[in-house]
Amino acid sequence: MNLLVTMQFDGSGYHGWQVQENAVSVQSVFQDALFRVLGERPDLKACSRTDTGVHAREFCLSLRPAREIPPERLLAALNHFLPKDIAVLSVRRVPEDFHARYCCRGKRYVYEIWNRPVRSAFLSGRALHEYRRIDEALLDRAASHFLGAHDFTSFCTADRRDAGDLTRTVTESRVRREGDFVRFSVAADGFLYNMVRIMTGTLLAVHRGRIAPEDIPGILEKRDRKFAGPTAPACGLYLDRVFYDLPDEV
């Protein structure tokens, strides 16, 4: 059987998703819980990698347990053994050829900024604090320049895993205010290493008057990381949605 597991996690206490030596990752904790349920550590195919401190409201992985187990039973058992900052939302059967990474047709990320003169005692590690009032309409205008298919070399950290074509198609890029929260939402067919954090850092550079919204097309065309803004901290970044084309039932 091939199973799709959808989960969420608070990344504040983890060194990203992927297993690392001498560091606690979400994957290692999840695999420990899986072993307690199944007595095995099946190979996990994750939809994405996440950096230290990045969160996920929806994170997907596929796995093939050695023995049959009802999806609803696996859901309950995993949540019993997982810590409170990791939760499995659903488990379902998927076609035999399904792969959580290669079958993904897109993702949406949200970067959250707490925009108030005084920091919040409850948002440390969960949102970026910006004390100066943000003009969300200005940042939304800047974000609109990311829409469409572009080479995002200027908006990624060099990484051998991203070698090759660095063109991505952005289908949503907007900035909205909800009370004291300013949220940058961006959806695309794929993302490069640190891409959303650099896009966010560039929007914050617009906020601080260092870059104009109309400069962004030129930064894209330069294909040079040094022209974009800084990499925003990981604390405000959430993997918000993972998109698949799947039948209702298998």
Burial of 166-175, coded b for 16+ CB within 10 Å and e otherwise, reads bebebeebbb
| Residue 76 CB contacts under 8 Å (≥ 6 apart), including other chains | none
Q: Are 193 and 153 in contact (CB under 8 A)?
A: no
The residue count for the chain: 250
Angstrom distances, CA of residue 176 to CA of 88, 137, 139, 140, 173: 29, 8, 9, 7, 10
243, 156, 111, 47 alpha-carbon torsion, rounded to 10°: 30
Rounded distance between C-alpha atoms, residue 246 and residue 98, angstroms? 9
| Residue 108 CB contacts under 8 Å (≥ 6 apart), including other chains | 172, 185, 186, 187, 240, 241, 243
| Residue 163 CB contacts under 8 Å (≥ 6 apart), including other chains | none
Q: Are 100 and 46 in contact (CB under 8 A)?
A: yes
Show which residues are catalytic: 51
Quick one: tokens of 159?
A: 């990484």
